[in-house]
């Protein structure tokens, strides 16, 4: 368990409380890795990786990436993902029953390559006042994420995979990504394959998101589309995320909150709304997912978060606090025990 | 909002989607010497070309921005008002905004509003 920064620790606490009430047979090995709190180092990172080698599964809050350049272009968050080779980020965007938004009954899955692309951390000042920032696209990683997307679609019984790109402009980079997706698609004749340019995709998501099923894309577009889609169903507070490598599974928030939201937790800013409420629903949603990943645990029985008006947190227009919400979830657990 | 190239491309499209889509939003491009006016989201519209169903609103509003740039303000306002007034009538709406009208129908409606101005 990596609580991280901002609301992370409170959300982790909430998960632990609910797990305890539900008597979930999981022990958390906690590691406090944070760049902003200065508890990040290479040794700490290695300790987390060692722990992961045993457990294989992690639950994380948010390890905030500060804006300042302190000498390393890659953040700890990115470095952790690379060390664990968490190449696939999956965000399953599903409308919540009982919470109306502009578009209801949404059910789409966004698969994002998250170890290369625009986040390769390769930048330099080639001439004074001119920065070159390298976006890396490789055949190997593009094929890997495309295969992951089609395997996911097959396993979950989804009908279509749409590759999102900007190959008309980045002809070589996104062109390669697109080519790899097309090649992999041919190996899965039962799944429909489609492509769409990122700008049009974003417009379509806002106007007619129902046309999408599974989407696969490189790093930056995935980051943007994750957030856009999460906004469609209620925001950061209600969408969980999963990250996978060949060996590990990490469960976290679907859209990672903005710095101000994260830092509000630190500065104790009283003018800000109590941010803890956000993202709680997301983490409780993902708990059943993480439980399924624990080999010995067979039946996830945690109920969906209660979304009655009385218990909605502020991000959903209610007045509940984090602890009210947790209590409500725990109360809802008890009917399951005869 | 101000931003670099790619983010601008994406945000343009998201925001155009929020207000009704590519048929409604005009755009402008400026440099030291030249100004170029066009639709905001620059869609080719291959699938709707030559079928008399394209929405002329975005292009007309872009043309009004050009007129303002050329300091032909009264022409710009007159045409802009006619375009907006015409949009009040759902019968002139093209399919992209939920109607069954045609491009030529929309243009005729705008021209008749001009005649009344």
Q: What is the complex's ipTM, to 2 decimals?
A: 0.90
Interface with B, mutate which of A198, A206, A229 (most B CBs under 10 A): A206
- Cβ atoms of A59 and A251 closer than 8 Å: yes
Which whole number is the average pLDDT over A88-100? Answer: 88
Domain limits of chain A? 1-88+242-337, 100-233
Is B16 in CB contact (< 8 Å) with chain A?
yes
A206 vs B6, B9, B17: nearest CB: B17
In this structure, the dihedral spanned by the alpha carbons of residues A208, A213, A217 and A220, taken in order and rounded to 10 degrees, is 50
Give how many domains chain B has, as a whole number. 1
**What per-residue confidence (pLDDT) applies to A101?**
87
**What per-residue confidence (pLDDT) applies to A303?**
45
Give the A-side interface with B, CB within 8 Å. Answer: 166, 198-200, 202-207, 220, 224, 228
A199 vs B10, B18, B21: nearest CB: B10
CB atoms within 10 A of CB A84: 22
Coil, helix or strand for A279?
A: coil
Residue pLDDT, tens place only, B31-68: 999 999 999 999 888 999 999 999 999 999 999 999 99
- Cβ atoms of B62 and B23 closer than 8 Å: no
Q: Which residue of chain B has the CA closest to A207?
A: B17
In a 13 Å sphere around the CA of A156, the CA atoms on its Cβ side amount to: 17
A202 vs B13, B21, B43: nearest CB: B13
In this structure, the dihedral spanned by the alpha carbons of residues B59, B63, B64 and B68, taken in order and rounded to 10 degrees, is 150
Test A200 with B43 for CB contact under 8 angstroms. Answer: yes
- The domain defined by A100-233 carries CATH number 3.40.718.10: yes
**What per-residue confidence (pLDDT) applies to A71?**
73
Contacts A218 to B, Cβ<8 Å: none
Q: What is the C-alpha to C-alpha distance for residues A52 and A79, in angstroms, rounded to an integer?
A: 14
**What per-residue confidence (pLDDT) applies to A304?**
52
Test B14 with A228 for CB contact under 8 angstroms. Answer: yes
CB atoms within 10 A of CB A314: 17
Range of the domain at B43: 5-115
- Cβ atoms of B27 and B13 closer than 8 Å: no
Residue pLDDT, tens place only, B52-110: 999 999 999 999 999 999 999 999 999 999 999 999 999 999 999 999 999 999 999 99
- Interacting residues of B2 by C-beta distance below 8 A, sequence separation 6+: none
């Amino acid at each position: 368990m990596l609580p991280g920064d901002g609301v992370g620790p409170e959300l982790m606490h909430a998960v632990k409380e609910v797990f305890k009430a539900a008597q979930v047979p999981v022990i958390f090995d906690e590691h406090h890795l944070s760049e902003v709190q200065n508890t990040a180092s290479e040794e700490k990172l290695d300790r987390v990786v060692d722990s992961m080698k045993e457990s294989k599964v992690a639950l994380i809050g948010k390890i905030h990436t500060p804006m300042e350049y302190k000498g390393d272009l890659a953040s700890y968050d990115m470095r952790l993902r690379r060390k664990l080779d968490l190449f696939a980020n999956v965000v399953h965007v599903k409308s919540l029953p009982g919470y109306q938004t502009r578009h209801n009954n949404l059910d789409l899955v966004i698969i994002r390559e998250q170890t290369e692309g625009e986040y390769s951390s390769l930048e330099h000042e080639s001439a004074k006042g001119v920065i070159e920032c390298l976006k890396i696209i490789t055949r190997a990683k593009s094929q890997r994420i495309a295969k992951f997307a089609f395997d996911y679609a097959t396993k979950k019984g989804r009908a279509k995979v749409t590759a999102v790109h900007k190959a008309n402009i980045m002809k070589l980079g996104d062109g390669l990504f697109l080519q790899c997706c097309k090649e992999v698609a041919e190996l899965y004749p039962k799944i429909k394959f489609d492509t769409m340019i990122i700008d049009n995709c974003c417009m379509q998501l806002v106007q007619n998101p129902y046309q999408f099923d599974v989407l696969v894309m490189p790093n930056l577009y995935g980051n943007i589309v994750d957030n856009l889609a999460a906004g469609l169903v209620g925001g950061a507070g209600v969408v969980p995320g999963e990250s996978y490598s060949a060996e590990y599974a990490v469960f976290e928030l679907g859209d990672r909150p903005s710095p101000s939201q994260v830092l509000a937790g630190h500065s104790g800013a009283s003018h800000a709304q109590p941010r803890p409420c956000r993202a709680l629903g997301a983490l409780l949603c993902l708990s059943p997912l993480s439980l399924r990943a624990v080999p010995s645990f067979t039946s996830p029985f945690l109920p969906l978060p209660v979304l009655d008006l009385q218990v909605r947190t502020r991000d959903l227009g209610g007045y509940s606090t984090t602890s009210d919400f947790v209590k409500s979830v725990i109360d809802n657990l008890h009917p399951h025990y005869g | 909002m101000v931003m670099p190239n790619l983010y601008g491309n994406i945000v343009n499209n998201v925001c155009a989607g929020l207000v009704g889509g590519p048929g409604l939003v005009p755009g402008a491009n400026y440099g030291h010497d030249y100004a170029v006016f066009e639709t905001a989201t620059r869609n080719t519209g291959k699938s709707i070309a030559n079928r008399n169903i394209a929405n002329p609103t975005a292009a007309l509003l872009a043309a009004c921005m050009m007129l303002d740039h050329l300091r032909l303000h009264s022409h710009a306002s007159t045409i802009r008002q006619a375009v907006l007034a015409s949009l009040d009538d759902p019968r002139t709406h093209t399919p992209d905004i939920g109607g069954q009208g045609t491009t030529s129908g929309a243009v005729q409606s705008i021209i008749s509003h001009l005649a009344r101005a």
